[in-house]
Amino acid sequence: MKMSGSQVIDAPREAVWKGLNDPKVLQQCIPGCESIVASSPTQMSAKVVLKIGPVKAAFKGSVTLSDIKAPESYRISGKGEGGFAGFASGGATVKLTANSPSETLMEYDVDAQVGGKIAMLGSRLVDSTAQSLANQFFDKFATVVNQSAAAPRKPKAKAVKKPAKKPVKAKKVAPKAKKKATKPRKR
């Protein structure tokens, strides 16, 4: 499976680069991602739960970054095992170009292979699901990076202890008496 595309992100190139290398940002943005742990600046492991057609599986995998030219480009390679569902492996080249000081063009070329039950679903379903997942990732990534780049850097405020308030005692209220309906007497 081959896929390529581009996305304009409303954030400076340095902020986009930082987001692409931040496990917390990636975990928020990757559809179905349950965890990402960086073991080094170029190695990460992840757990992702995906549903492709009728097949749902938890994939555990590893990712390696190479050909790093910060903050311009890198190559990301990975492989994941999904048990009975199969496996996925592949890589992507990511390139960042500053369109302006506050806007970045991110281009990507992906080459991936799948095997097992996932491969039996057919390339049309796998390709359309992969494109949908990529669109979800880039939409969320653009939002998260844009928000973090736009957030003003506030100095950390010191905690101020306020005096404790005295607890308010609850007032006891007598229950209301029920009114009895009276029938008029006949005379």
104 sits in which H/E element: strand 103-115
pLDDT tens, residue by residue, 109-138: 999 998 988 888 888 888 898 889 988 998
For residue 20, the model assigns a pLDDT of 95
91 neighbors 74 (Cβ within 8 angstroms):
no
Which is higher by pLDDT, 78 or 157? 78
The amino acid that residue 166 corresponds to is K
Phi, psi of 126 (to 5 degrees): -65, -45
Q: Give the model's pLDDT for residue 53.
A: 84
Q: Which two tokens stand for residue 95?
A: 């390139």
**Domains in the chain, CATH or no CATH each:** 2-150 (3.30.530.20)
pLDDT at 27: 95
Binned at pLDDT 50, 70 and 90, residue 156 comes out as very low
129 and 112 in contact (C-beta within 8 Å)? no
Model pTM score: 0.76
Q: What is the pLDDT of residues 24-71, one digit of tens each?
A: 999 999 999 999 999 999 999 999 999 888 888 899 999 999 999 999
Band (pLDDT 50/70/90 cuts) for residue 74 is very high
pLDDT for the residue numbered 162? 46
Structure token digits, residue 33: 């991602």
Task: State residue 157's pLDDT score.
Answer: 42
Q: What residues are paired with 86 via a beta bridge?
A: none
Does pLDDT of 147 surpass 50? Answer: yes
Q: Describe the strand order of the beta sheet including 73-81 as a list of residue ranges.
A: 2-9, 103-115, 87-100, 73-81, 55-69, 43-52, 33-40
Which uninterrupted H or E stretch holds 94? strand 87-100
